[in-house]
Structures are given as C-alpha cells and as structure tokens.
Amino acid sequence: MSESMSDSMSEPMSKSASAAAPVLETRALRKAFGGITATDNVTFKLPAGARHALIGPNGAGKTTFVNLLSGVLPATSGEIFLNGANVTEWSVRARSRAGLARTFQINQLYPDLTPLESVLIAVNERENAATSWFQRLGRRADLVDEAADLLERLNLADVMHARVGSLAYGRQRLLEIAIALASRPSVLLLDEPAAGVPEGERDQILDVVAALPADVSLILIEHDMDLVFRFAKTSAVLVNGALFVEGTRDEIARDPRVRKVYLGEEEIAHHG
C-alpha cells in the first residue's frame, strides 16, 4: 500500500482515538421481527484499534447484529454511534462514507469484472471520481495505482487482470476484503471471511486478517475458532440475541458458561 494511502486511512481513527471515545458503540440496540427478538438490548463498545471477535451458536443473532451496525436492517429501538456520530437512521452508503465497511458471508462480487476493476469501483465511489464508472473507470492514474497497491498488499497482484469468476474461492474472499479497505474505513466488519474456503487456502485468509492496518478497528464474526483465537484479542458472545459475556481470549476460553452454550469442553481445551 502506498504511503499516502496509509496516511489517509489513519486519519479517521486518529481523530477518534484523540477523543478517547469508542469508534463504534451501540446503546440498548434491539431488533424484533414480529414476536421474535433477534437482537435483545445490546450495549456494546468497540475501542480504537480493537481486534474483536463476535461469536455465538447458530441462531444467536450475530448476522442480524452486523446488519444493524451496517444499516442493512433498521433498528426497532436503541442507538448506534460511529466515530461519535449517531448513525442509527443513516443509510448503508452514508455509514460507509462515515468510515464503516463490511464483508458478507456470501460474496457480493461481479464475476465478469477483474479484481482491479472491482477495487477501482470502490475507490471511485469513495472519491466521487465518476458518475458513470463504466465510462470513466481507470482515467485517474493515482486511483489505479492505489487499487493496484491494495491488491498487491492482499496477495492478488498476479490475478488483478483475471476474471473474478475464475479466481479460487479463497482469493475471492481476499478480494472482498480489498474492496472493503478501498473505502478507507475506520471500522471493518468481517462476516465469516473463511466461510467456504478450502483448508489449503485458509492460511492466506488468516495471514491477511492478521496483517490488516492497525488503525482500522476490526470486528470478526466467525464460527472457525482457529481464526478467532489467532486473530482476536477480545471477544463477545451472543446468545439468543443478547450479549452473553465479553472478555479477553483467555477469559472467554475459560468461562464455563461459554463452554456450556457454545464452544464445548474439547474445543476450548484445544485452544485454551
């Protein structure tokens, strides 16, 4: 990544850090679908520079919570703050422009584009560089260089001109992260980045996640406990839509309530 890109990515975070405020916060956040409560009064704070995992059993409400954070779903009640601003009523695009980016469990890529074109779309969107990306994509050499630098950093330089649909699935997942980073976020939500990735390609995902910029605060939603324990310094456990427990990796691994509801004695013993 170029020096100028690294500097500009750090600006939103430095402002938040200097204010000593969480970069992302929810207050009594709730989402109900009819009579079913999917997110149950969750109050949560993400510090600047965090490496935080969100875990829990199937049906715990993890994806719903992330959809609320990113604006995909409206909250039934409660509030969401991003870099100090109340974004509860903001659109997905507005939250993205304010510094929130995410990936999805199922990729949202265009198979007929190249990785370079895919990242350039995100860069152009961030810069308002084109009203019609199809006509103007790639006209600014500095933005092309930025996109190429980002792909190189995520080990995708050798396939930047290939069709996205021809890439191995693990590399498609890396491209999703590259597209998210192209918006220069202060907060990045990674929704199961290793989901569906063959065992032989998982190490690439692990290495890239571990090397993401320190000035980007990360929330990892993941079932793969190898990835969680390798990546996260702190974790939160959701159960039935409610925040069950938060703590460091060791605290979570040794908590008997977590053993009972999610991880299992054998798996915790392996990682603890």
Name the pLDDT band for 18 (thresholds 50, 70, 90).
very low
For 198-233, the DSSP string reads -HHHHHHHHHHHHTS-TTSEEEEE-S-HHHHHHH-S
Q: Show the tokens assigned to 129.
A: 């560089």
Q: Which residue has the higher pLDDT, 244 or 13?
A: 244
Which pLDDT belongs to residue 266? 41
Contacts for 239 with CB less than 8 Å, ≥ 6 apart = 56, 57, 60, 261, 262
Query: For the chain, which domains are there?
Result: 3-107+185-271 (3.40.50.300)
pTM of the model: 0.82
Name the pLDDT band for 270 (thresholds 50, 70, 90).
very low
Ranking 70-74, 100-104, 208-212, 242-246 by mean pLDDT, the lowest is 208-212
**What integer is the mean pLDDT of 220-233?**
81
Which pLDDT belongs to residue 11? 41
- Rounded to the nearest 5°, which phi and psi values hold at 86? -75, 110
- pLDDT of residue 250 exceeding 90, the answer is no
Picking from 40, 125, 115, 110, the residue whose alpha carbon sits closest to that of residue 75 is 40
**Residues 52-69 as b or e (16 or more Cβ within 10 Å = b):** bbbbbbeebbbbbbbbbb
